[in-house]
Amino acid sequence: MPGSSTPPRDATERSHHAAVLAQQPVTMWSPPDVFVDFIGSKTRRSYEVGMAVERDHARVAQVVTPSYPIFNDEYFEWIDVLETVEAAIDTYVMVELGAGYGRWSVRAALAAARKPSCTFHCVAVEAEPVHFRWMVDHFRDNGVNPDDHDVIWAAVGTEPGFVPFRIGNADSWYGQAIAARPVDPLPAARTRRRLKARSILGRPPIMPATAESRMWVPCVTLSELLAPYSEVDLIHLDVQGSEFDVLAPAIALLNERVRRIHVGTHSTQIEEALRKLFSAAGWQKLNDYPCHSCVPTPYGDITFGDGVQTWLNPVGRSRHVHAPAGQEMVRPSTESQAIIAVLQERVEALKESNLRLKAEIARLREKHRESRTNRERETAAPSVESPDLVAALHARVADLKERNSQLKADTVRLRDQHRASRAHDQPKAVPRWWKRLVSGWLSRLRQRFG
C-alpha cells in the first residue's frame, strides 16, 4: 500500500542493505509535481494527493539526486525487489498482485535495466479501474511499454469468474478489495463477455476517482497467471485480506516455479495460516513482521500497518531444477499432509462460521414469526369482554339493513310510477277500418277533381 513513515532518529547511523547500496542513486531531471526515487522511477503526485504521506517532490522542474529509501515498512519491499534482480541471470520475471499503479513493477524494471543482457517481464494485476489506468500511464512515464507485459484488469481470487469489488477514492485509498456482499446481481451474459474483453484488452470502464461504490470485475487465479511462465523470480502480493485464499490453491505451482514471495498481510489469522502453509512446503522465512505493530528490525524499530512476510523457495531458481525423464517432481508426502492439514483447518473454520450463520437465520426467522403472530392478534375481532362495542355494531348493522329495505321499496314504487306515466302519455292506436275508409275517400276525391 503506498505510503511512508517518518524515518527513525538514528536512521543515519544504520547501514543500508547491501542490495540497496549496490544501486547508485540517479541524478535526473524531475518534472514539476513528480516524486522521484533513487532508482529513477517517476511518480505523479496526483496518484497520492489525498494521502497523508511525506515525499520529496519538486513544485518546479529541476535536477534532483534522490537519497536512498528511508527505514520504514516499505524498506523490505525494496530489499526483495533488488535482491531478486541481482540474483537474476538473463531473465527477470515479476508478478505483482494488487499492483495499484504498478510502482514495484516499474522499480523492478528500472533495476533490471541496469543489468546488461537482462530481459524484464512482469505480470501486473489490479482491479480498481482508476488505479489500473494510472498503472498504464505510470509504465509509460518511466519508459516501460505496457503492451510488452501482462497488465491485467482483474481481481485475484480462489476461482475464475466474477467477483464484487470495492472501488473509489483512488487518490487517497489503496485498500480496495473483494466485497463480502454484492450490491447488484451478477450481470447478464452479454455484460460479462464485455467485462472479460475489457480485462483482456486492459481497458476497464471509466469510473470517477472519488465515488466509492462496488462493481463486478473479472477474477483470475494465481495458477492461471503463472501458467505461461516456467520460472518467476518474485511475487509481490498485496490483496487486502485474500492472501491465503490466493496462495494456498497454487502451492504446488509455487514450489515448482517461484523463487521468492513477498506478502503484505492484513490479519494475525492470515499470518499464522501462511506460516503453516509455507513451513509445511519447506520454504525459508526471511521476514516476518505482524501487521499493526511496532517491532525491532535490523534497521531499528519500525511501525507496520500491513504486515510483511518474505518466503524463499529453498529449491533455488527453477530453471536449474529438472525432473528425470518420464517423472514428475513431487514433494515429500509429509509436506503434502501438512498442507492438507492447513486447508482442513480453514474448512473447519468456515464450517463453524456457516453453523453460526444458520443459527442466526433460525433465530431471526422465529422472531419474524412471533412478530407476525402479534400483528395478527392486534388486528383480530374484538373479544367478548367488550359488550358495549358489540351491541353498538349490531345496532349499526340493523339500521343499515332497515335503510336498505326502504331504498328497495322506494325503487319499486318509482319504477311503477314511471311505467304508468309512459302508458298515459302514449297515443291510442287508429283502428284499421278507419284507415281503409279514409283511404277510400281520398281516392275518390282524387279521381273526381284530379
Burial of 372 (0-12, 13-18, 19+ CB in 10 A): exposed
Question: Bridge-partner residues for 97, per DSSP?
Answer: 125, 237
Q: State pLDDT tens for residues 351-376.
A: 887 888 888 888 888 888 888 888 77
Please report the pLDDT score of residue 3 as a whole number. Answer: 44
Percent of the chain with pLDDT over 70: 84
Cell of 426: 302514449
Cell of 286: 526471511
Q: How confident is the model at residue 57 (pLDDT cuts 50, 70, 90)?
A: low
Cell of 438: 279514409
Sheet containing 213-220, strands listed edge to edge, beginning at the edge strand earlier in sequence: 155-156, 213-220, 161-167
pLDDT value at 86 more than 90: yes
Give the separation between CA 63 and CA 29, rounded to whole angstroms: 4
Cell of 425: 302519455
Q: Can you tell me the mean pLDDT for 36-43?
A: 92
Please report the pLDDT score of residue 58 as a whole number. Answer: 54
Pairing of strands 28-30, 155-156: unpaired
Cell of 277: 502453509
Give the separation between CA 46 and CA 134, rounded to whole angstroms: 10
Q: How confident is the model at residue 380 (pLDDT cuts 50, 70, 90)?
A: low
Residues whose CB falls within 8 Å of the CB of residue 39, separated by 6 or more in sequence, listed in order:
23, 26, 107, 110, 111
180-190 burial by CB neighbour count: b if 16+ within 10 A, else e?
A: eeeeeeeeeee
pLDDT value at 147 more than 50: yes
Give the separation between CA 157 and CA 222, rounded to whole angstroms: 8
Count of helix runs (H) and strand runs (E) in the chain: 12, 17
Q: Can you tell me the mean pLDDT for 172-192?
A: 80
Q: State pLDDT tens for residues 388-424.
A: 788 888 888 888 988 888 888 888 888 888 888 776 6
Please report the pLDDT score of residue 55 as a whole number. Answer: 56
260-289 burial by CB neighbour count: b if 16+ within 10 A, else e?
A: bbbbbbbeeebbebbbbbbebbebeebbbb
The end-to-end CA distance of the chain, in Å, is 125
Phi then psi dihedrals of residue 270, to 5 deg: -65, -40
pLDDT value at 7 more than 50: no
Of residues 385 and 373, the one with the higher pLDDT is 373
Least confident residue range of 73-77, 208-212, 256-260, 337-341: 337-341
Q: Can you tell me the mean pLDDT for 86-93?
A: 93
Give the separation between CA 251 and CA 160, rounded to whole angstroms: 17
Residues whose CB falls within 8 Å of the CB of residue 217, separated by 6 or more in sequence, listed in order:
127, 153, 154, 155, 162, 163, 165, 195, 199, 204
Residues whose CB falls within 8 Å of the CB of residue 159, separated by 6 or more in sequence, listed in order:
219, 221
Please report the pLDDT score of residue 105 as a whole number. Answer: 96
Give the separation between CA 326 and CA 66, rounded to whole angstroms: 53
Q: State pLDDT tens for residues 263-314.
A: 999 899 999 999 999 999 999 999 999 999 999 999 999 999 899 999 999 8
Q: Can you tell me the mean pLDDT for 8-19?
A: 65
pLDDT value at 335 more than 60: no
Give the separation between CA 392 and CA 397, rounded to whole angstroms: 9
Give the separation between CA 69 and CA 60, rounded to whole angstroms: 22
Of residues 209 and 241, the one with the higher pLDDT is 241
Q: State pLDDT tens for residues 156-165.
A: 998 899 988 8
Give the separation between CA 234 and CA 259, rounded to whole angstroms: 6
Residue whose C-alpha is closest to residue 227's, from 252, 244, 260: 252
Q: Can you tell me the mean pLDDT for 147-161?
A: 92
Please report the pLDDT score of residue 11 as a whole number. Answer: 43
pLDDT value at 1 more than 70: no
Residues whose CB falls within 8 Å of the CB of residue 123, separated by 6 or more in sequence, listed in order:
93, 94, 95, 96, 149, 150, 152, 225, 229
Residue whose C-alpha is closest to residue 5's, from 301, 270, 283: 301
Q: Can you tell me the mean pLDDT for 228-255?
A: 92
Q: Can you tell me the mean pLDDT for 3-17?
A: 53
* Structural Rg of the chain based on CA atoms: 42
Phi then psi dihedrals of residue 244, to 5 deg: -65, -40
pLDDT value at 336 more than 70: no
Cell of 361: 437465520
Q: Can you tell me the mean pLDDT for 329-351?
A: 64
Q: What is the largest CA-CA distance in the chain?
A: 154
Please report the pLDDT score of residue 319 as a whole number. Answer: 42
Contact call for residues 237 and 264 (beta carbons, < 8 A): yes
Residue whose C-alpha is closest to residue 16's, from 63, 75, 57, 74: 75
Of residues 284 and 176, the one with the higher pLDDT is 284
